[in-house]
Amino acid sequence: MRRSEIKRRPLADTVLATLEPEDKEYREHDGNSLYLRVKPDGRKSWQLRYKKPDGKWSWIGLGGYPEVGGSLARQKAAEMRGDVSQGRNPLAMKHARKAAEAEAASNTFEKLAREWYANKRKGWTEGTAVRTIGALELHVFPVLGKRPFAEILPIEWMEFLRGMEQKGIVEQTSRVRGMCKEIYDLARVTGRATHNPLEGLHKFLQTRPVENFAHVSQEELPALLRAIRAYPSATDIRIGLQLLSMLACRPSELREASWSEFDLDKALWSIPAERMKRRREHLVPLPQQAVELLRDLHVLTGTYPLLFPGRSDTTKPRSNTVFLMALRRLGYEGRQTGHGFRHIASTTLNEHGFDENHIEAQLSHVKEGVAGVYNKAVYLPQRREMMQWYADHLDKLAGGNVVAIKRA
């Protein structure tokens, strides 16, 4: 729009955006000595007219438009008018504020956290590194990452962590709290902080005992299996839940799996050592039902390296809470977790008389005192038979036609 068409001040956002240039540079008054300067090439910037201590008038720039919008420009102008009224040099104060902003930007929690991550990363496996920085980027940085770390109060960390708890991710909350506490320890030992605001917070947060990976009872299992098979929100997650229920693997092992680990013709899944909790390769025999589910999943995600590629970045797996949130949507919050399927499998197989050694091998457990070098294919034929029985058993439970007969 043209200057002559302006009807009121301060200048409205639509005026700022559409004000047209002229052959010569001009300034348009916004109010209270604040002006919008418009150059012939269309570039716009803010200037404040003020009187110096010697009585002469001068101009000071407040930033270009649209980077600095009308509201922010008026806020900056008010600060500088305050400086002038108190006898301070507004130009010197502008530089001081800019320096303070730069210092604050260099002391953000995110910057400190990435420094901590770079130091710790050297001793971690790739899986641990990805999970750690992923948790910080997903949960912490969007909320507190841009804040100067020394200004974040203990009560703010408490409210943030309790907010995570309310999402039903208690275990993840505990891990995030531990990471953030270590990050502040780095600031403390390097002389950048005198105290750790996360010290002692664990006493007032929920904790989850190691053995308490929630899982439904045997009586509730058929209804859960039917609910999973009818999961409406996403086909890939429905398949993932079904695979979790029948393979007795850890949720992270499945969620982070790549297609290169599977030989569907041989019905085998080879999990590399770097993705295993105990850092050793593990073979998982696949029952026929799992092979069929994986072939269905391949139609959906087979063009990507990962079974469950992320929505915004397909080179990374889905969120580490994706299966937990799906169970929550099904109404099983606090009653069933992804890890809980391992407990169900272990209990069921033991109750039906399968060899304990075969079960422990399937779960990738090692008992103290076991002699010899670990063999990734130990008891593979027996485990193949056992897991096919288990998949058939789950099918019968879901169909409501199972008869409780224990093996000798």
65 is catalytic: no
pLDDT of residue 207: 59
- Using CB atoms within 10 A of its CB, is residue 402 exposed (0-12), middle (13-18) or buried (19+)? middle
pLDDT tens per residue, range 297-318: 999 999 999 999 998 899 999 9
> CA 311, CA 107: separation in Å to the nearest integer?
31
Least confident of 19-23, 163-167, 212-216: 212-216
Instruction: Tell me the average pLDDT of the chain.
Output: 87
Instruction: Indicate if the pLDDT at residue 14 is higher than 50.
Output: yes
> CA 284, CA 248: separation in Å to the nearest integer?
9
Instruction: Indicate if the pLDDT at residue 334 is higher than 60.
Output: yes
pLDDT of residue 369: 39
pLDDT of residue 260: 96
Provide mean pLDDT across the span 234-250. 95
C-alpha dist (Å) from residue 223 to 323, 334, 400:
17, 16, 9
374 is catalytic: yes
Provide mean pLDDT across the span 51-59. 83
Report residue 208's pLDDT band, with 50, 70 and 90 as the boundaries: low
Q: Does domain 3-102 have CATH number 3.40.190.10?
A: no
> CA 300, CA 356: separation in Å to the nearest integer?
37
Tokens of 327: 């169970």
Q: Exactly one of 94, 139, 318, 342 is catalytic; name it.
A: 342
Q: What is the architecture of the domain spanning 221-399? A: Orthogonal Bundle (1.10)
Report residue 159's pLDDT band, with 50, 70 and 90 as the boundaries: very high
Residues 6+ apart with CB under 8 A from 28: 3, 6, 11, 19, 35, 36, 38
Higher pLDDT, 113 or 209: 113
Residues 6+ apart with CB under 8 A from 268: 262, 283, 284, 285, 286
- Closest C-alpha among 340, 339, 382 to residue 357: 382
Strands of the 282-285 sheet, one edge to the other? 262-263, 268-271, 282-285
Cβ(101)–Cβ(107) under 8 Å? no
Provide mean pLDDT across the span 355-359. 89
277 is catalytic: yes
Report residue 274's pLDDT band, with 50, 70 and 90 as the boundaries: confident
pLDDT of residue 123: 83
pTM: 0.51
Q: Exactly one of 238, 250, 255, 275 is catalytic; name it.
A: 250
342 is catalytic: yes
Burial 295-306 (b: 16+ CB within 10 A, else e): eebeeebeeeeb
| Domain limits, the chain | 3-102, 109-204, 221-399
Q: Does domain 109-204 have CATH number 1.10.1270.20?
A: no
Tokens of 98: 């800019």
Instruction: Indicate if the pLDDT at residue 371 is higher than 50.
Output: no
Q: Exactly one of 365, 376, 393, 396 is catalytic; name it.
A: 365
Provide mean pLDDT across the span 393-403. 81
How many Cα atoms are found within 13 Å in the side-chain-facing hemisphere of 265? Answer: 1
- Closest C-alpha among 343, 48, 125, 326 to residue 214: 343
C-alpha dist (Å) from residue 279 to 67, 124, 363, 365, 402:
50, 11, 14, 12, 38
Tokens of 401: 């036609």
Instruction: Indicate if the pLDDT at residue 367 is higher than 60.
Output: no
Identify the three-state secondary structure at position 164.
helix
pLDDT of residue 376: 64
> CA 82, CA 61: separation in Å to the nearest integer?
16
Q: What are phi and psi of 172, to 5 degrees?
A: -65, -35
Cβ(131)–Cβ(320) under 8 Å? yes
Q: Exactly one of 52, 95, 229, 374 is catalytic; name it.
A: 374
Following CA atoms 283, 284, 287, 288 in sequence, which dihedral angle do they give, to the nearest 10 degrees?
Answer: -60
